[in-house]
Amino acid sequence: MTNRSTNLVLLGLCLVATCAPSISLAQQPGGEAPVAPPVAPLQAAPSPTPSQPGAATAEYVIGPEDIIEIEVVGQPDKARARVYTDGTVQLNLIGKLVAQGKTPKELAAEIAQALRAGGFYANPLINVEVVGFSSRYVTVLGAVATPSLVPINRPYRLSEILARVGGVQATAADYLIVRPESGDERRYLVDELSKGDVTKDPFVTPGDKIFAPAAEVFYISGQVNSPGPFPMKTDMTVMQAIARAGGLTASGSDKKVQVNRGGKKVKLAGDAKVEPGDVLVVGERLF
């Protein structure tokens, strides 16, 4: 046998042992035959926020209704499929696999193993990427710039979620309420979210509901420079309320502050706490 013939035989053996035709892994629900990568599910994917997040990080856990993109490295096509509500994904040649609860890397390894076991590839390299986030999100409502569903493709702190919805409105309270799916709700001061204290800027959990309430108001009149209604601040004192109203007039006295609270008149000291709905009246000093 000539050298040229020998080389052709060896090349043929190599192709049989290690190569497979370009295939699409996606399969329609209940279908038997291979189909082209589905387009309709991708078009129907939810768009919960004005801007979608980037690719999922290694920590992301796939869930129902997520859309995944599967690539056999070296093949020209990629397949996309939506994870069913039962947490599975149907793939041609392989069948049904459980995707829920796995990271993209873990699912890729399982797909590669199934392709090896089926004899379709000798040593396939598989990439799995989450391109549509539907199973893991938080809900942001209330007095924020863009109330919306925010997909969670990686660990996010509360301050990051607030930034993604454009921050709070001018009429918002100075705190956020976080209501988890289980457990008690908590309040976090907006001003403290950016100070670097991680105990006051927690990671959010998928399923959390984040609510920015409108600020409650208090009223102040009498001997202040700018009487009127003002938004409440957490733990606001009488002296802070006077400062918010432009300070005392030349004849005003912080020793003569009365409040109408729940239909009753009460005299308050400067360090006393103001409550929502309070009507403060600042009196004149004698001399």
CATH architecture, domain 137-212? Roll (3.10)
- CB contact at 8 A, 256 and 282: yes
Enumerate the domain spans of the chain.
3-132, 137-212, 217-284
Task: Assign a CATH topology to domain 217-284.
Answer: Outer membrane lipoprotein wza fold like (3.10.560)
The DSSP 8-state label assigned to residue 155 in this structure reads -
The amino acid sitting at 95 is G
Distance CA(217)–CA(230), nearest Å, equals 5
Coil vs helix vs strand at 179: strand
What are the backbone dihedrals phi and psi of residue 173, each rounded to the nearest 5 degrees, phi first? -70, 170
Q: In this predicted structure, what is the pLDDT of residue 43? A: 30
pTM above 0.75, yes or no: no
pLDDT tens digits, residue range 43-84? 333 333 334 555 667 778 899 999 999 999 988 888 899 999
Whether 137-212 and 217-284 share one fold: the answer is yes
Question: How many Cβ atoms are within 10 Å of 126's Cβ, its own excluded?
Answer: 21
The predicted-structure confidence for 64-73, as pLDDT tens digits, reads as follows 999 999 999 9
The pair of structure tokens assigned to 44 is 């129907």
d(CA 37, CA 172): 46
Range from 26-35, 237-246, 255-264 carrying the lowest mean pLDDT: 26-35
CATH 3.30.1950.10 fits domain 3-132: yes
Mean pLDDT of 269-282: 94
The token duo for 97 is: 């696999």
